Amino acid sequence: MPEPLIGALFSCLLGEDLPGHGTNYLKQSLAFVAPARIAEPLTASVRITRLRADKALVDLHTRCTGADGRLLCTGNALVLFHQ
């Protein structure tokens, strides 16, 4: 799977589920450590590392794993959420 498509998994997760619709990406960095296999189920996850409620900013640690749990990529994201 091309790397930009894996990055888009985080955009979808944050923009639609956590914290939800209208979340804006300010920046994202990803380090890819292994390739995804064609038709392989992937799991994208995020963990809040810092919440700046006064500015409506959330710092996140991101990671994507393959079907067997192997790490495909890890990184960080900064999003602006609508209160």
Give domain limits for the chain: 3-80
* Candidate ranges 4-8, 10-14, 69-73, 79-83; pick with highest mean pLDDT: 69-73
Q: How confident is the model at residue 22 (pLDDT cuts 50, 70, 90)?
A: confident
CATH 3.40.50.620 corresponds to the domain 3-80: no
> CA end-to-end span of the chain, whole Å?
34
Residue 58, classed as helix, strand or coil, is strand
Residue 25 above 60 pLDDT? Answer: yes
- Higher pLDDT among residues 19 and 63, named by residue: 63
Is 38 strand, coil or helix? coil
Give the global pTM: 0.83
* Residue tagged 């894996």 (tokens): 6
Average pLDDT estimate for 25-42: 92
| Whether residue 83 has pLDDT greater than 70 | no
pLDDT at position 7 is: 84
